[in-house]
């Protein structure tokens, strides 16, 4: 939208001799976007912050929520790529779809990481825990993604009255959720393994604390 508006403004300024007392304004979606742009960015940032805080409390870790939230840029990439391939313009409805994605796409990674943590707590080594978690949680992840995509399909196809307005949001969620799910099954286990290995090395490299001195006895005091 921004590129199209700039191109129109440049064409109007260079192709027409405007009298000094005349001005032109581009309205429609451009004006609506300018009014709500700041609020949308604030809503997106706040939603991501709340997602991180909730996961940090759930996992009692500051690092693992960051690993899980890597699914969000994967989803955004898939959404932007899919909309670009279909020629759908970015609008407020698309941005609302991105905000919705921020709270949806992390679910698959949460299921995966949580089960890997459970297996490690039972004494399973890291690599086996990651492989087992991926195999066991694959079916629930695919079922959750599949049902969500199928539920949004009528809206994405533009069925029903007024569906044209909701179609961009449905396409945003479908493309983002699909790409995030596929990449989550590969990238999240890899990053989880690297982060856990780095943490173990850091703990092994940390020098052991010196033993405390024994309390003084009457003989040693003399």
Extract the tokens encoding 120: 């490690």
Q: How many Cα atoms occupy the beta-carbon half-sphere of 211 within 13 Å?
A: 3
Range of the domain at 172: 50-204
Radius of gyration of the chain (CA): 26
pLDDT along the chain (222 residues), means of 10: 62 66 63 70 89 90 90 92 87 86 89 92 90 92 92 84 80 93 90 86 67 55 46
Contact 112, 141 (CB under 8 A): yes
Count how many domains the chain has: 1
Are residues 110 and 137 in contact, defined by beta-carbon separation less than 8 angstroms? Answer: no
pTM for the full predicted model: 0.75
Residue 55's Cα: distance from chain center in Å? 13
User: Domain for residue 146, yes or no?
Assistant: yes
**Does 210 reside within a domain?**
no
Residue pair 116/130 in contact by the 8 Å Cβ criterion: yes
């Amino acid at each position: 939208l921004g590129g199209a508006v700039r191109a129109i403004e440049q064409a109007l300024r260079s192709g027409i001799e405007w009298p000094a007392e005349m001005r032109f304004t581009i309205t429609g979606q451009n004006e609506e976007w300018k009014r709500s742009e700041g609020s949308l960015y604030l809503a997106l940032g706040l939603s991501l912050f709340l997602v991180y805080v909730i996961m940090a409390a759930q996992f009692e870790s500051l690092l693992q929520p960051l690993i899980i939230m890597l699914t969000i840029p994967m989803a955004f990439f898939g959404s932007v790529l899919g909309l670009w391939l279909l020629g759908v313009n970015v609008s407020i409805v698309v941005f609302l779809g991105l905000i919705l994605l921020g709270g949806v796409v992390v679910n698959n990674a949460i299921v995966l990481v949580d089960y890997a943590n459970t297996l490690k707590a039972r004494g399973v080594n890291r690599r086996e825990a990651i492989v087992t978690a991926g195999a066991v949680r694959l079916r629930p992840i695919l079922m959750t993604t599949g049902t969500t995509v199928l539920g949004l399909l009528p809206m994405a196809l533009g069925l029903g009255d007024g569906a044209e307005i909701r179609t961009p949001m449905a396409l945003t969620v479908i493309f983002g959720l699909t790409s995030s799910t596929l990449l989550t099954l590969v990238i999240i286990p890899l990053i989880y393994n690297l982060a856990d290995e780095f943490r173990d090395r850091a703990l092994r490299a940390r020098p052991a604390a010196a033993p405390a001195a024994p309390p003084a006895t009457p003989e040693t005091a003399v």
